[in-house]
Amino acid sequence: MFNNLIKSAAFFLLIHILGSCSPKIGRYDTLMDGIVAKPEVLQLHRDSVRVTVQGAIPLSLLNQDSKIYLYPEYIYGEGSLRLGEIIPFDGAYTKNLVEAKVAETIVFPYLPGMEQGELVIKGVVERKKGVFQAPNKVIATGLEITPLLTRYGQVLSDQPIPDIGIYMTKIFQDMNQTETRDFYIPFEMGSGQKQNPVFQVSFTDYLIKGEPGMKINKVVVTGLSSPESKDNIIGLAKKRSDFISERLKANRSLRNTPVESMYRSGDWFDLRQLLTDYEGITQEQKEEVYTILLNGNSFASQLASLQKLPGYRNISRDLFPMLRSAKVSFELENTRLNDVEISAGVFALLKDQKPLEGFGEEHLTYAAQNALKLDEKEAIYKKLAELYPSEHAFNNLGVVYLNMAQRELDVRKRNILITDAISNLTQANKIKASSITLHNLGRAYLLREDYFEAYIAISEASALEKEETNEFLNYNEGLRGALDILNGDYKLATIRFNRTMENESNFFNKGLAYFLSEDYLAASENFEAAVQADRETGYGFYGIALVAAANGDKEALMENLGKAVERSEFLKEKALKDINFKNYRNEQEFINLFR
């Protein structure tokens, strides 16, 4: 291969010398008369261009003294791309030689600016007398890059940067809802008052210190009494409630805080609550107790039945003393848990490397979900993934990195963010495979311009959805259809868009798929639907102009292209280079559209 490169370089050097120092040799002017390109207008498929160079060399130029070489080259702007070497005749001449055919398929990568290029063939004849160059021949002009108009959430110069990816969300009824802290203030059996100090140390400390970020909205004191004969006294529960309430109202820590007083006696409500977490009896014994407490009999009858149970001794020993009390319930509001402040508060703690005291998984999830800035979301989801690893945390962190990459101009930093996104989304999918995570993986590969892997991930996401009317499926199929266009599967794309949500970008993409399939009537219908859905983007008008150009309708072309370029600088730049408008490019009316 190295020798071939040296040989090619030598040929081009000789060509240059011959072209600059020698007159043209008329004998070889017809060398490439029969060489053509199929198609004559090159077309973009995925990220490359495919063209076939075919034809034949005139028999009169073939003899055993010569070898013929063709060098295809794509010339565009200030650049050019050499596309290898074709040898239609290697000097193996016989009297039975009929023709020297050329049939070579060439694939080369698409590079920005190629849409206005030319595919040129350079011919060289090598003879014993020397090397001769035939006149260059242009066999294809321009490149059709209409598939690049496909809308899939990419960044365009004159439009806001769209958010991409799907966050997994949780529904929070009300993160500001009150929480309750219960304390039992014990009394001596049969007593409605307490000797000083009234409150135990833990309760006094709570009154003074409270909880970080918690505001006491209200205090409810409930006087209780136990079913024991010395404590089951009429009016005792109320005395206990009134006694504690009066002292709380006088407490400086509860100034301006409402204190309500109530009491309960002669029922089992509080015993049932205590039984919930009680482990002093078996579950079977608990069931026996509940059966009695809920049988609807009188309090005295139920007490008599309880006293016959095997577990009664433990209950009376462990739980009855807690009923010789006043229950103080603090109704609290977590003032840090609101849409405006929670995200910034958690982010500030993380930024300063301070402990997240008082914040659990639900709080962090709520904070991340309501954070408005990507750096805040990143910090909170990273901590969430560290403390409470789940597909939810890793997926959402991956989506954060997707949107950071979407906004990053530095190529190296952008690639790092895409890699971080793929890493977190892959981890989420390992924990639990889901259509949302696969969709986001497809988005990440699309940012990397790896259309093959993107299509696989997006297709797998659709495969996990069973209901045809599923909202996610309809959304995902829109992206899948866009990838079909980029992959050159235009017919399949038109089918795909029948299952998508009806919005401006999907209507436009569907019209584009029909246009590239040369079904101009269906294309026009969908482009018009895009205009009806949103007139301001300009894309629907541009699509109608494409159809008008294909149909030779100059009036419709000028009218709609004018509306498109008026609304979008991106489309304005695109139209100036669009090969679909090449027949009108030199007309004054066309030129006036861009002034």
Q: What was the pLDDT predicted at 343?
A: 62
Q: What was the pLDDT predicted at 519?
A: 96
Q: Classify residue 230: in a domain, yes or no.
A: yes
Length reported for the chain: 595
- How many domains is the chain built from? 2
Q: What was the pLDDT predicted at 385?
A: 94
- Cβ atoms < 10 Å from Cβ of 160: 7
On whether both 123 and 200 belong to a single domain, the answer is no
Q: What was the pLDDT predicted at 113?
A: 86
Q: What was the pLDDT predicted at 22?
A: 43
Domain finish residue from 101, 129, 144: 144
At 197, is the pLDDT very low, low, confident or very high (cuts 50, 70, 90)? confident
Q: Classify residue 131: in a domain, yes or no.
A: yes
**What's the rounded Cα separation, in Å, for the pair 582 and 549?**
9
72-128: pLDDT as tens digits = 999 998 888 999 999 988 877 665 556 678 999 999 999 888 888 999 999 999 988
C-alpha triplet 266, 270, 271: angle, nearest 5°: 90
Q: Classify residue 29: in a domain, yes or no.
A: yes
Domain finish residue from 144, 161, 192: 144
The amino acid occupying position 522 is: A
**What's the rounded Cα separation, in Å, for the pair 526 and 544?**
9
87-101: pLDDT as tens digits = 988 877 665 556 678
Q: Classify residue 270: in a domain, yes or no.
A: yes
**What's the rounded Cα separation, in Å, for the pair 527 and 489?**
19
Task: Identify the residue whose tokens are 């100036």.
Answer: 576
Closest CA to 332 of 207, 159, 416: 207
Average pLDDT score over residue span 158-162: 86
Q: What is the CATH number of the domain that holds 97?
A: 2.60.40.10
Q: What was the pLDDT predicted at 19?
A: 47
Average pLDDT score over residue span 563-585: 93
Report for 256-270, 345-359, 456-470: range of highest mean pLDDT: 256-270
**What's the rounded Cα separation, in Å, for the pair 281 and 134?**
103
On whether both 133 and 75 belong to a single domain, the answer is yes
Q: Classify residue 431: in a domain, yes or no.
A: no
127-142: pLDDT as tens digits = 888 898 999 999 999 8
On whether both 139 and 183 belong to a single domain, the answer is no
Q: What was the pLDDT predicted at 165?
A: 96
Average pLDDT score over residue span 543-555: 96
Q: What was the pLDDT predicted at 222?
A: 95
Average pLDDT score over residue span 149-161: 88
116 Rama sector, left if φ>0, alpha if ψ -120 to 50, beta otherwise: alpha
When the pLDDT of each residue in the chain is averaged and rounded to a whole number, the result is 88
On whether both 121 and 190 belong to a single domain, the answer is no
On whether both 77 and 206 belong to a single domain, the answer is no
On whether both 123 and 40 belong to a single domain, the answer is yes
On whether both 189 and 330 belong to a single domain, the answer is yes
Report for 40-44, 149-153, 200-204, 467-471: range of highest mean pLDDT: 149-153
Residue 1 has pLDDT above 50, yes or no: no
Residue 275 has pLDDT above 60, yes or no: yes
Q: What was the pLDDT predicted at 317?
A: 94
Q: What is the CATH number of the domain that holds 189?
A: 3.30.1330.60
Q: Classify residue 468: in a domain, yes or no.
A: no
Two structure tokens written together for 166 = 């799907």
Residue 18 has pLDDT above 50, yes or no: no
Residue 336 has pLDDT above 80, yes or no: no
On whether both 222 and 324 belong to a single domain, the answer is yes
On whether both 91 and 232 belong to a single domain, the answer is no
Residue with the larger pLDDT of the pair 416 and 373:
416
Q: Classify residue 341: in a domain, yes or no.
A: no
349-390: pLDDT as tens digits = 676 666 666 667 887 888 888 888 899 899 889 989 998 999
Residue 347 has pLDDT above 90, yes or no: no
Q: What was the pLDDT predicted at 57?
A: 87
Q: What was the pLDDT predicted at 358?
A: 60
Q: What was the pLDDT predicted at 322?
A: 92
Beta pairing class for 86-89 and 79-82: unpaired
Residue 235 has pLDDT above 90, yes or no: yes
Average pLDDT score over residue span 177-194: 89
Q: Classify residue 64: in a domain, yes or no.
A: yes
On whether both 116 and 231 belong to a single domain, the answer is no
Average pLDDT score over residue span 274-281: 92
Q: What was the pLDDT predicted at 563?
A: 96
Q: What was the pLDDT predicted at 355?
A: 62
Q: What was the pLDDT predicted at 23?
A: 43
Q: Please report, rounded to a whole number, the percentage of residues in the chain having pLDDT higher than 90.
A: 63
Closest CA to 413 of 383, 384, 437, 447: 447
Q: What was the pLDDT predicted at 177?
A: 63
**What's the rounded Cα separation, in Å, for the pair 453 and 477?**
16
Residue with the larger pLDDT of the pair 13 and 564:
564
On whether both 20 and 135 belong to a single domain, the answer is yes
At 2, is the pLDDT very low, low, confident or very high (cuts 50, 70, 90)? very low
- Residue 57: what are its φ and ψ, rounded to 5°? -90, 135
Beta pairing class for 48-57 and 42-45: antiparallel
Average pLDDT score over residue span 245-251: 92
DSSP 95-134: TT---EEEEEEEEEE--TTGGG-EEEEEEEEEETTEEEEP
On whether both 109 and 34 belong to a single domain, the answer is yes
Closest CA to 575 of 590, 559, 556, 587: 590
Residue 576 has pLDDT above 70, yes or no: yes
Q: Please report, rounded to a whole number, the percentage of residues in the chain having pLDDT higher than 70.
A: 89
Paired strand residues for 221 = 261, 328
Domain finish residue from 144, 163, 196: 144
At 36, is the pLDDT very low, low, confident or very high (cuts 50, 70, 90)? very high
**What's the rounded Cα separation, in Å, for the pair 462 and 474?**
9
Average pLDDT score over residue span 542-571: 95
Q: What was the pLDDT predicted at 466?
A: 79
Average pLDDT score over residue span 563-567: 95
Where in the sequence is the domain holding 86, given as residue range(s)?
Answer: 2-144
